[in-house]
Chains A and B, each alone.
Chain A
Amino acid sequence: NAGVTQTPKFQVLKTGQSMTLQCAQDMNHNSMYWYRQDPGMGLRLIYYSASEGTTDKGEVPNGYNVSRLNKREFSLRLESAAPSQTSVYFCASSLNRVNYGYTFGSGTRLTVV
């Protein structure tokens, strides 16, 4: 049981380049999330998808777009990367129920130079 799979694990981009971070879960979860983690700060929500076909902005959506391709997959796109987007990105999934845990991917370490 793979859980939540994120790719790539590491990426270096030049300012202005674009890329897509991929996330897939095999637990039949309906909700999926993208977070960024920066030193000295808690995880911050970028975008989330409560169910297939829906996406909503989180705390820090600027500079990002998402696609909920199907129930399993939720991708995060940086159209024009900026140094401020250097961060570790985590995808997570959950059933949309109050007393249900979250499963996190292993993270993508992105550096924008």
Chain B
Amino acid sequence: KNEVEQSPQNLTAQEGEFITINCSYSVGISALHWLQQHPGGGIVSLFMLSSGKKKHGRLIATINIQEKHSSLHITASHPRDSAVYICAVRSQGNNRLAFGKGNQVVVIP
């Protein structure tokens, strides 16, 4: 079993819809990262969380340390949000990241 599991693997939404994607992990962590990768593009860091909730523009990331679960919400989705969203965790006592396989999000105009 992978340390990091993301769901759903693929998601298609209409422009304007509220989107939620999820990340579950099996180890104790010191931090969780949400990354964004556009088709054929590089990887951009969106959030780093160790507790609670963070918001940046239309993106909101939450984490529940007890349940080992994080969600990334996209409000008022737009076609430019179409990308792969990657969850990565930094295990306690380790300076390396373990990555999920990503959530492919497509927003249709």
Contacts and interface: CB of A to CB of B under 8 A. Distances in A.
Contacts of B101: 40-42
- At the interface, is chain B mostly helix, strand, loop or mixed? strand
- Measured as residues with beta carbon below 8 angstroms from the partner, the interface class of chain B is 20 to 34
Interface residues of A, number: 25
A49 B92 CA distance: 18
A50 B42 CA distance: 22
Interface of B: 2, 4, 30-31, 33, 35, 41-45, 48, 50, 86, 88, 90, 95-102
- At the interface, is chain A mostly helix, strand, loop or mixed? loop
A25 interface: no
B96 A102 contact: no
17 contacts: A31-B95, A41-B101, A43-B88, A45-B97, A48-B96, A96-B95, A98-B90, A99-B30, A99-B48, A100-B48, A101-B45, A102-B97, A103-B45, A104-B35, A104-B43, A104-B44, A106-B42
